[in-house]
Amino acid sequence: MKKLGALWRHPRVPLVLAVVTVLLGGLAAWSAREAHTLRSGSTAENVALTDNARSSELKGEVQDIVNTVFSYNYTDVAKTERAAQTLLTGKAVQQYNEMIAVVRKQAPEQKLVLTTTVTDSGVRMLSGDRARLLVFADQRSTRTDKNQTAYSAAMFSVGAVHRNDRWQIENIDTFMK
């Protein structure tokens, strides 16, 4: 007991304890701020992993959109054009027109049929009426004039917005430069 009392009388012990107290207080304040950021920031608003029903609905609708607008048949161009105008919005309309321009030009001459099938997708972000998905798809391109078929895979990210009780694609990132 005498040794403990002597330890407290040492001039550095109170100083060391004061420094440790300040450091622990700073750590507690930083931890509280970080916890608040996680609870109130955009991360907390992202329900992609917690709202399975809504994420599933979103994936299904986006899959249908991608399968529809990225499939192209030279015999019924108007069907794809109408679908693109109603299922795409904002920047995605221009992006789509740029991507499909080559197909649109070559389709009648080559009697081209392009079929896109989404094989998988993942919801990266779902917050309110906005979402971000990563989409994997297989594409089959058939030139009926030469009876040739080619296959390819595609991976891209899409931004979606929920309007008028349905999802629409508003942005397309193809990961190609």
Specify whether 33 is located in the same domain as 63: no
- Alpha-carbon distance of 8 to 38, in angstroms, equals 41
**Segment 86-129, tens digit of pLDDT:** 999 999 999 999 988 888 888 899 999 999 999 999 999 999 99
Specify whether 53 is located in the same domain as 87: yes
User: 15 is written with which tokens?
Assistant: 């100083």
**Segment 132-172, tens digit of pLDDT:** 999 999 999 999 999 999 999 999 999 999 999 999 999 99
Domain count, the chain: 2
Q: What is the dihedral of CA 104, 152, 63, 164, to 10 degrees?
A: -30
Residue 11 lies in domain = 2-40
Specify whether 29 is located in the same domain as 104: no
Specify whether 84 is located in the same domain as 141: yes
Specify whether 150 is located in the same domain as 67: yes
Q: What is the pTM of this model?
A: 0.74
Specify whether 86 is located in the same domain as 157: yes
